[in-house]
Chain A
Amino acid sequence: MHSPADIATSWPEAIYAHFRRIGVRQVGYVPDAGHSRLITLCQNDPQITDVVLTTEEEGVGLVAGAALGGQRAALLMQSSGVGNCVNMFSLLRNCGFGCIALVTMRGEFGEFNPWQVPMGAITEEILRLCGFLTYRVESADAVDEIVGAGCDMAFNGDLAVAILLSQRLIGRKQWTR
């Protein structure tokens, strides 16, 4: 069992455990502070090919290609990255590719940079318009259950699922280091 204090900091491990459980074999990401722990876990796993992207849009193509080849792929991005993907998301919808996207939110709770706010404020709506089912996680103790359910829906149902990890969960202090 984990203590509440453990859970508060170990939620990336909970996501990673679901990647292992459902057999994610490729992970596409643009380096991100909020996802840094999860990215390291994926990089250190010989079963997972980590693919560092120049823009999140590339990750959508990666997911489709991986699925054609019989592998499950996950996308890690910041809310700003969602805006970079919009046209490419049509690939998921047109062909029915399953996709799990983990989105760290900027531009909300405690954001210090106003330039993040316009995109952060419309991230969830954009994802829905693009055909994603969206689920928000506000607290660390909810990560395991929500990410688990999202992964199952994405890959058992060939659905596009986005989990929005709120800025309150990620913690605002690390943005100001």
Chain B
Amino acid sequence: MMLDRRKFVQRLLVDRGDLLVVPGLGSATYDVAAAGDHPLNFYLWGAMGGTAMIALGLALARPDRRVVAIPGDGDMLMGLGSLATIGVKQPKNLVVVVLDNARYGETGMQPSHTDAGVDFERMALASRFRQARTVTRIEEATEVRKLLHAGEGPILINSKIKPEDVPRVLPLRDGHAIKQRFIAALNAA
């Protein structure tokens, strides 16, 4: 069984409170936008491979807040070293939720390494993440949402989503605007 990506992300971000969210380029950014635009989303439209590291810098700067990185599998594969870097720093307030459809969705749904069985859950544990789990059923979203808000990090959630094309939901694309809006909202809170 696999997850409906929109429904899953929607359930993770329902009543999100003061979560800081960094979605990776492509479908992850569209999924997070579809769950409801929010000034505390730092949408990425590029910087592939950098999502988890941006979230780490943010988590280290704001240990009083919960930070969620949401990369796709291709983004995470490009930044695998960042799992080791996060493992060294052990940020308690950081959760990485990989949206893994085992495909490169933006370029024509070519199979990714995870399609051959490469496994983020075990890589995260081997990188000293405190918790890692693979999620395949939508019923698990409630429990994962609790981890986003209160689990002791670093945590990695490997979310097995269906390899399907869903309509694009396009949020802000101006990087300066996304940054300024995020910083203003964070400072106001």
Contacts and interface: CB of A to CB of B under 8 A. Distances in A.
A65 B85 contact: no
A63 B22 CA distance: 14
Contacts of B9: none
Given A60-B50, A88-B50, A69 B57 contact: yes
Interface stretch (A47-55, A117-125, A131-139, A161-169): A47-55
A39 interface: no
B82 A61 contact: yes
B120 to A, nearest CB: 16
A43 interface: no
Main secondary structure of the interface of B (DSSP, over half): helix
A94 to B, nearest CB: 4
A70 B22 contact: no
B84 A64 contact: no
A96 interface: yes
A79 B46 CA distance: 24
Interface in A45-80: 49, 51-55, 57-71, 73
Interface residues of B, number: 37
Contacts of B58: 65-66, 68-69
A54 B175 contact: no
Contacts of A63: 57
Given A61-B50, A63-B57, A91-B50, A68 B187 contact: no
Contact of A65 (B53, B84, B176, B178): B53
B186 A68 contact: yes
Given A67-B57, A97-B179, 5 more contacts: A26-B61, A54-B81, A65-B56, A68-B42, A71-B60
Interface of B: 20, 22, 42, 45-62, 65, 79, 81-82, 84-85, 88-89, 175-176, 178-179, 182-183, 186-187
**7 closest residue pairs by CB, A with B:** A65-B57, A69-B61, A61-B53, A54-B81, A94-B175, A61-B50, A95-B175
